[in-house]
Amino acid sequence: MTKINQNPIFNPAWDDLVEQRTIIKWNTTWLFQLNNTKYNWANSLYTVMIGNFWIPEKVSWLGEDSVVFKKELSEWEQRAYKWILSFLIFLDSIQTVNLPNFNDYITAPEVNLILSIQAYQEAIHSQSYATILESVVESKVRDEIYYFWRDDEILLERNKFIGWIYQDFIDNPSEKNLFRWIIWNYLLEWLYFYNWFAFFDTLADQAKMVATDRMINYIRRDELTHVTLFSNIIREIKKEFPEIYDEKLILDMMRTAVEQEIKWSKHIIAWSVIGMSDINIENYTKWLANQRLTLLWIDALYPEVITNPFKHLDRLQDNNSEKWNFFESTVTNYTQSSSMKWGWDF
């Protein structure tokens, strides 16, 4: 396998010519020259991500959910709520520590910058889950939630698989492993969160755990920008390094991710809440896979699944004005601060 080199901290012998710049494998000085950038989508995404700034302490009324959790959730709903948070905690934890490793191989400063913002957002998400646990569940069960994977073989299998792909690239930084790392990040951001978002939305649709769902909406808003980020990185690699791009690998990894997600989702949430049956979970996961493939200009992997089976999610999105376009990934709500009017290229 062809080895790929980590970026030096400072490279004074090279240059920052935009017309020669590539997303990876370019020799640059590592000066953040942001007045002259190549990837306009990164400029636009920077503006959205900065405008999305929020902190969990500003999402109030979580205390209301503590009462609902104890008095209104069934035993199965409580179980799903806790174990879903366990997996989400793992996902954002590993992303927070892993993204800087990847950033060391990206050779466009405008993309380095938004990857750093993503790492910050993942850390905020981790703090959000801690805030939810502190507000909703008793202190004696919090460690049990954090370390649920110690006792659940299916979750441990998933966590170890994710960790192995990331670790394998760190131990063996080849072009193939880098591309696989990028694809896995895309899969994690666009698939692994969404059945869990659907669970919280479904509870909220029944007027349960509404404050938790409000927090999840902030997190989902961030995740959509992460999906956009990695879809653009993949498309740039396809354009600039066709010898590295591997569509078969994308599809093979997607099938694996879909199978893992369906297995875990059925294990944790199937029938725990009204409307989330085995068949709906399976079709929703496959529908999401098809949607995300569209962003990569790849045909549907599951052409038989053409609609979202969770119709109540469309209604909730209408009520919340949470609109996004899967081709442009423009999110229009849940912004705490005023979005910046200009990017770097004003």
53-70 confidence digits (pLDDT tens): 898 887 667 888 999 999
User: 18: which DSSP letter?
Assistant: G
Domains of the chain (ranges plus CATH)?
A: 38-50+61-320 (1.10.620.20)
pLDDT of residue 130: 92
Displacement of CA 89 from its chain's centroid (Å): 12
pLDDT of residue 236: 97
**Any catalytic annotation for residue 39?**
no
Q: Are 287 and 308 in contact, with CB atoms under 8 Å apart?
A: yes
28-45 confidence digits (pLDDT tens): 888 888 888 999 999 999
Kindly report the number of other CB atoms within 10 A of residue 154's CB atom: 14
pLDDT of residue 317: 58
Stretch 4-19: mean pLDDT: 85
The pTM of the full predicted model, rounded to 2 decimals, is: 0.88
Annotated catalytic residue, options 39, 46, 105, 129: 129
Angle between helices 109-136 and 40-51 (to 10 degrees): 30
Contacts of 71-77 spanning 24+ positions with Cβ under 8 A? 72/208, 73/203, 73/208, 73/209, 74/272, 76/271, 76/272, 76/273, 77/203, 77/208, 77/272, 77/273
Q: What is the mean pLDDT of the chain?
A: 86
Which token pair is 222? 């961030």
pLDDT of residue 323: 43
Stretch 292-307: mean pLDDT: 94
Is 344's pLDDT higher than 90? Answer: no
Q: Which among 78, 106, 241 has a CA at the least distance from the CA of 185? A: 106
Stretch 199-226: mean pLDDT: 92
Least confident of 213-222, 290-299, 337-346: 337-346
Is 208's pLDDT higher than 50? Answer: yes
Least confident of 11-25, 101-115, 320-334: 320-334
Q: Which residues contact 311 (CB under 8 A, 6 or more apart)?
A: none
Dihedral of alpha carbons 126, 227, 284, 157, sign: negative
Is 257's pLDDT higher than 70? Answer: yes
Whole-number percent of the chain with pLDDT over 70: 89
Is 335's pLDDT higher than 50? Answer: no
Pairwise CA distance, residues 180 & 242, whole Å = 14
pLDDT of residue 8: 85
Stretch 295-321: mean pLDDT: 80
